[in-house]
Amino acid sequence: MSTRSMKFAEAVDRKLLSLMRLPPRNQVAAWLEYEKEGLSFARSPGECREYRCRILEQILMSASRLPWKEFEPYLRRRDALGYSSLDVKISVDSFAAIAAAGHPEVQQKIVRRLARDLVALGRCRASIGFRSQQIEAISSALRRLVYYSE
């Protein structure tokens, strides 16, 4: 990881800590504002994309406590950027499971996304520890979907 990337990661951590006590909508607004600032760290298109992805993941984490209609546009933006690793995709899909509460048709889509993640996890050559950790994340997201559908 480059020095710039480490500085950016530290800045994101500081921002996350400063926003923890705010309501979700305010957190999302602050992350969107920070996205404009944060891209000043980037010096190449690749870094810009990486930073945008990291900030969008923070936005998704905050927005997961908002209604689905407010969450979905950020999920579409994150999907359009693609995923650098399976664990990031599983994390994003877990946030989607939280946001899908009370929307049976959306919950079905999220279950399909999580099922695709599980299939991809079965194909990956990662360590047993990594895979079991990701399986636990998927099962936790599925439990949330079942809990909120009842």
Q: What pLDDT score was predicted for residue 115?
A: 92
- The pTM (predicted TM-score) of the whole model is 0.84
The verdict on 118 and 142 lying in the same domain is yes
Q: Please say if the pLDDT value at position 60 is more than 90.
A: yes
Average pLDDT over residues 43-62: 89
CA distance 148 to 135: 20
Q: Among 31, 122, 119, which residue's Cα sits nearest to residue 78?
A: 31
Helix, strand, coil % over all residues of the chain, rounded to 5:
85, 0, 15
Last residue of a domain, one of 68, 93, 119: 68
Q: Which residue has the higher pLDDT, 127 or 90?
A: 90
CA distance 144 to 107: 10
The verdict on 56 and 91 lying in the same domain is no
Indicate the range of 62-71, 90-99, 103-112, 141-150 predicted with least confidence.
Answer: 141-150
CA distances from 7 to 2, 40, 54, 143 (A): 9, 12, 13, 36
Domain contains 76: no
State the residue range of the domain holding 39: 1-68
Domain contains 15: yes
Domain contains 100: yes
Q: Please say if the pLDDT value at position 1 is more than 60.
A: no
| Residue 40 DSSP symbol | G
Q: What pLDDT score was predicted for residue 16?
A: 84
Q: How many domains does the chain have?
A: 2
Domain contains 130: yes
Domain contains 124: yes
The verdict on 17 and 58 lying in the same domain is yes
CA distance 82 to 56: 12
Average pLDDT over residues 26-49: 86
Q: What pLDDT score was predicted for residue 15?
A: 85
The verdict on 1 and 31 lying in the same domain is yes
Per-residue tokens: 83: 């995923």
Q: What pLDDT score was predicted for residue 14?
A: 87
The verdict on 45 and 13 lying in the same domain is yes
Quote the mean pLDDT of the chain: 88
Domain contains 74: no
pLDDT band at 150 (very low <50, low <70, confident <90, very high): low
pLDDT band at 74 (very low <50, low <70, confident <90, very high): very high
Cα radius of gyration rounded to whole Å, the chain: 16
Average pLDDT over residues 60-67: 94
The verdict on 51 and 8 lying in the same domain is yes
